[in-house]
Amino acid sequence: MIFKCRNCFGNVVYSPEKKKMYCPYCDSEESHEMKPATSTDMSICPDCGGVIPVAEHTSATQCPYCNNYLIFEQRVEGDYLPKMLIPFQMGKESCKKLIRDKFKKKVFAPTDFLSEVRLNTMQGTYVPYWFYDYDVNADYQAEATKVRSWSSGDMRYTETSYYDVRRNIDVNFRDIPVDASVDMPDDVMDLMQPYNYKELVDFQPQYLSGFYAEKYNMPGNAVEGRARKQMSEDASALAKSQVVGYSSVRQVNNNITVKSAAQKYGLLPVWKYMYTYKDKEYPFYVNGQTGKIVGSVPISTSKVWAYAGTLWACLLIILMCVSMWMSVLPWM
């Protein structure tokens, strides 16, 4: 499907700044109408008829010929219908400024790292996620001590009291996120957190217009272990935090019981900037809601050597000046 403007027939996209559908050709707002695909062949652009490359898990992309943004209905329906998403909160220009402000003081970064041409290649992508809800019971048992010391005359006394401690609490977890894309590094996606999940909204295909998107390619049961691990750690920490006022605490038993569980499929916004330097890729990821940046800047060896050469030249000039000054001093 493609969203077209009723006024000028241009491609209408979702504007993060305006938080509504916007036509960049005639500046109309909320003037969109959906044009469904006339063919089940996803490799054919429904607007210009051009043959477009479509990866196995792509659910939204841009036609390289007419530049219209396309959404593939069969990849956002049925089992692949997202329940919810967080819309992009920043557009490309805002993201480019964010990256420039973040890295402009990196003097050894390659010259074109922050160039307009390079930064224009970044893509806004909706990444598939599974969200898990758990209602659990945490039963924490420990041996604790309280130590009391006092003096009487010349004697110093210490008393240690021992306690069996137990804390039993019910905990409700909502929307624990785990990415469902084989192409996105798990550690990077974890670093992209947190998102503000209060801004989750019901899925509407309009939000995808103007961006790329991917359907889940890892089933919920395949990645749930990561969510359960986080849930278990957080529940244990919460139960343990209830044990206070003791000199020492030694855990004896910690039992987490899941009373109910549920999973939901949704999408989260990520800007991706892939920079290549000396045949090596340096990926940068920007949280499309909060602006948090994850990535490492490459070091330009030519800049490092140029900087070192400048320092040596300055040092040599200083030494020559000192030598000349010493030579003209009267003999002492």
Q: Which of 328, 147, 139 is nearest to 243 (CA)?
A: 139
Percent above pLDDT 70 for the chain:
89
Instruction: Pinpoint the alpha helices (H) of 16-161.
Output: 92-103, 116-119
Q: Is residue 174 part of a domain?
A: yes
Q: Give the per-residue pLDDT at 178.
A: 96
pLDDT surpassing 70 at residue 307? no
Structure tokens at 7: 């006024």
Instruction: Give residue 317's pLDDT band: very low, low, confident or very high (50, 70, 90).
Output: confident
- Please give the DSSP secondary-structure letter assigned to residue 12: P
pLDDT in tens, 157-193: 999 999 999 999 999 999 999 999 998 888 889 899 9
Are residues 321 and 244 located together in one domain of the fold? no
**In which band, very low, low, confident or very high, does the pLDDT at 31 lie, cut at 50, 70 and 90?**
confident
Phi, psi of 47 (to 5 degrees): -100, -45
Displacement of CA 8 from its chain's centroid (Å)? 36
Question: What mean pLDDT comes out for the span 68-81?
Answer: 94
Q: Kindly tell me if the per-residue pLDDT of 296 is higher than 90.
A: no
Question: Whole-prediction pTM value?
Answer: 0.83
Q: Taking 60 as the threshold, does the pLDDT of residue 60 lie above it?
A: yes
Does 265 lie in the same domain as 145?
A: yes
Nearest to 302 by CA among 114, 118, 108, 104: 108
> How far is the C-alpha of 253 from the C-alpha of 314, rounded, in Å?
66
Q: For residues 102 and 95, what is the distance between their CA atoms, to the nearest angstrom?
A: 11
Q: Where are the alpha helices (DSSP H) in 58-177?
A: 92-103, 116-119
Rounded CA-CA distance 188/185 in Å is: 5
pLDDT band at residue 239 under the 50/70/90 scheme: very high
The rounded Cα 304 to chain-centroid distance in angstroms is 31
Q: How many domains does the chain have?
A: 2
Do both 244 and 308 map to the same domain?
no
pLDDT digits (tens, 9 = 90+) for 92-112: 999 999 999 988 876 657 777
Residues 137 and 274 in one domain: yes
**Measured distance between the N- and C-terminal CA atoms of the chain, rounded to whole angstroms:** 92
Dihedral sign, CA of 185, 191, 192, 194? positive
For residue 170, being part of any structural domain is answered with yes
Q: Judge whether residue 201 has pLDDT over 70.
A: yes
Any domain includes 121: no
**In the predicted model, what is the mean pLDDT of the chain?**
89
Which whole number is the average pLDDT over 205-216? Answer: 97
Residue 232: inside a domain, yes or no?
yes
Range of the structural domain that residue 315 is part of: 300-332
Task: Give yes or no: residues 132 and 176 share one domain.
Answer: yes
Give the integer Cα–Cα distance in Å for 2 and 18.
20
Instruction: Inform me whether the pLDDT recorded for 32 exceeds 70.
Output: yes
157 and 281 in a single domain? The answer is yes
pLDDT at 48: 87
| HSE-CB of 120 using CA atoms within 13 angstroms | 3
Same domain, 170 and 277: yes
Position with higher pLDDT, 2 vs 297:
2
- Same-domain status, 228 and 317: no
Q: Does residue 85 sit in helix, strand or coil?
A: strand
Residue 39 predicted with pLDDT over 70? no
How far apart are the C-alpha atoms of 41 and 144, rounded to whole Å?
A: 67
Average pLDDT over residues 23-40: 81
Q: Strand (E) positions, the chain?
A: 2-5, 13-15, 20-22, 32-35, 58-62, 69-71, 84-85, 123-152, 155-179, 201-202, 212-214, 248-277, 280-287, 293-294
Distance between CA 53 and CA 57 in Å, rounded?
Answer: 12
CB neighbours (10 Å) of residue 245?
Answer: 7
Instruction: Check whether residue 168 and residue 254 sit in a common domain.
Output: yes
Query: Which pLDDT belongs to residue 105?
Result: 73
Q: Are residues 171 and 264 in the same domain?
A: yes
Both structure tokens of 167: 């804390």
Report CA torsion sign: 99, 104, 108, 109.
Answer: positive
